[in-house]
């Protein structure tokens, strides 16, 4: 059996999708967390100089999206066949658009521009992207999942981003996204992880 170590900050951030996949799969792994104080000493030893890092049987790999996709394929959360994988990937693309919009606002140093970006995100961009996700869920038959009738990486990724943007969104306006979020949250393995994971600010 392969051994896994997942290295990331003591935060959800770009690491939580992978942790959720480990939880869903019931796969044991080492969840190694770093703080702003311990990270500088570790950084020179990290493959790409950034986290997260996944070690599989001692070999290290980087990039959060690559790690999540690998785990989803390995644990059978990437759909069945090329078409379902494509359906997963199109959801990941929409979520990446959401992340890009949020990051642009987060890192803006000019307070006036930051406020403008945040307003645009709340009033325009988030409704636009969530509307796209809503359409994809309807297209799949309003099952509560993006692909077929069971959880895939697409659902886990949307669950995670919804957690991060919930203060800015009225999910009652996006009932299918809300249903998907609830479908993931009600999974016993996900629920156990969310109830017991370390409490972090983000």
84-143 pLDDT tens trace: 999 999 999 999 999 999 998 888 888 999 999 999 999 999 999 999 999 999 999 999
CB burial of residue 41 (10 Å; 0-12, 13-18, 19+): exposed
Omega cis (within 30) before 52: yes
Domain 81-186 fold is: Glutathione S-transferase Yfyf (Class Pi); Chain A, domain 2 (1.20.1050)
**Do 162 and 153 meet the contact criterion of CB atoms below 8 Å apart?**
no
Q: What is the mean pLDDT of residues 164-170?
A: 94
pTM summary value: 0.95
Domain 4-76 fold is: Glutaredoxin (3.40.30)
For 180, the enclosing helix (H) or strand (E) is: helix 175-185
Return the domain boundaries, the chain. Answer: 4-76, 81-186
């Amino acid at each position: 059996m392969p051994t896994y170590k997942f290295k990331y900050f003591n935060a959800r951030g770009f690491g939580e999708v992978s942790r959720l996949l480990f939880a869903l799969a019931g796969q044991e792994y080492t969840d190694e967390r770093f703080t702003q104080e311990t990270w500088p000493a570790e950084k020179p030893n990290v493959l790409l100089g950034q986290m997260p890092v996944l070690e599989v049987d001692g070999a290290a790999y980087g990039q959060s999206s690559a790690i999540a996709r690998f785990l989803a394929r390995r644990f059978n959360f990437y759909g069945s066949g090329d078409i379902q994988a494509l359906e997963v990937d199109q959801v990941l693309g929409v979520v990446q658009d959401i992340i890009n919009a949020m990051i642009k606002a987060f890192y803006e140093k000019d307070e006036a521009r930051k406020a403008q970006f945040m307003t645009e995100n709340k009033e325009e961009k988030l409704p636009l992207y969530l509307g796209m996700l809503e359409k994809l869920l309807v297209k799949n038959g309003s099952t509560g999942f993006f692909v077929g009738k069971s959880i895939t990486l697409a659902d886990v990724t949307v669950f995670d981003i919804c957690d991060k943007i919930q203060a800015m969104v009225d999910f009652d306006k996006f009932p299918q996204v809300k249903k998907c979020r609830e479908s993931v949250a009600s999974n016993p393995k996900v629920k156990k992880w969310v109830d017991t994971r370390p409490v972090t600010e983000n």
